[in-house]
Amino acid sequence: MTSPTLAEIQTWFQHINTRLPDRSGQREFSGWEIDDILDDSGPLNAQHGTAIYGNGYMARLLGCLAAEFPTLRQAFSTEWFDHVAQQYLSRYPPTEPSLTTLGSRFPAFLQEELSATSLTADDTAGQFIVDLARLERAISETSRGQGTENIDYLAFAHWGSIIPSSVYLAPNLRLLKLRSNIVPFLHAMSNRQNPSFPESCEKYVVVCRRNFQVCLDPVEWWQYELLQHLKQSPTVQPWPDTLASSEIAARIPVWLLLSTERGYILDRPLRALQQSNH
């Protein structure tokens, strides 16, 4: 056998340790056996040494997903979580240098999996699982994202009662429309209580960060719609049609001011504010 190249060795080693099919069009791994490539003369035999890498690969990544979705894992069985997380990692093996993106597709993956297996459209348990995963992922993104902590809030003093024509969402703000009252459930689980699963009802939550602490603020439907509108476009007016009723339109200016205090919105993009603060 001719000496394998570095690329061939790595392709083979990765294949046997991750048990993943190689992407089509990529380098083919040869059908080598462990004894063909690895030196078996040391105290730790090659088979066992390989298993340490192989077992460690999945165990390490499962541990990271478990740390990002602790309530989901705790609320259902750890066996169920590990099983579904393993399927997820097989479909979406990590590619980035950072672990922050590892769980980014997990809620969507759960949605796909549950849609494929659910018998009825009204699958409340499935919706709860997906929403809980969305909430935990949002918490993780908000905790790491660009926040407004170091912004000089005096920048807003000139607002007075006049709303600027454009306002911007804090980059780490996440908006969620949930199909059950999950937030109290999550808090109870975090406090090691044993809450019952929440009943179905529509809830709107802003996930934001104040003083480096993630906050889960309940909001009303029109406040959620308004923030969604601002997420698409920083232009305050015209309001979306859903907010056009005179009663709601009258409440918007006051609530936008409150939103600046809560760290949801800024009067210019965060980058511009950071520069003007220096």
Positions that interact with other proteins (CB under 8 A): 3-7, 9-11, 13-14, 17-18, 20, 22-23, 26-27, 36-39, 41-44, 46, 48-53, 55-57, 59-61, 63-64, 66-68, 93-100, 139, 143-147, 149, 172, 209, 211-214
* SS3 (DSSP) at 101: helix
Smallest distance from the beta carbon of 211 to other proteins, in angstroms?
8
Smallest distance from the beta carbon of 227 to other proteins, in angstroms?
20
**CB closer to other proteins out of 26 and 120:** 26
Q: Are 157 and 141 contacting, i.e. CB atoms less than 8 angstroms apart?
A: no
Degrees, nearest 5: CA angle 208-172-271 = 125
The Cα–Cα gap between 83 and 8 comes to 31
What is the rounded end-to-end Cα distance, in angstroms, of the chain?
A: 63
**CB closer to other proteins out of 93 and 195:** 93
**CB closer to other proteins out of 1 and 250:** 1
**CB closer to other proteins out of 165 and 190:** 190
**CB closer to other proteins out of 211 and 233:** 211
* SS3 (DSSP) at 206: strand
Smallest distance from the beta carbon of 263 to other proteins, in angstroms?
13
Q: Are 128 and 201 contacting, i.e. CB atoms less than 8 angstroms apart?
A: no
Smallest distance from the beta carbon of 116 to other proteins, in angstroms?
26
Q: Which helix (H) or strand (E) holds 177?
A: strand 174-180
What amino acid occupies position 51? A
The Cα–Cα gap between 151 and 263 comes to 10
Smallest distance from the beta carbon of 244 to other proteins, in angstroms?
36
Where do we find the tokens 């730790």?
44
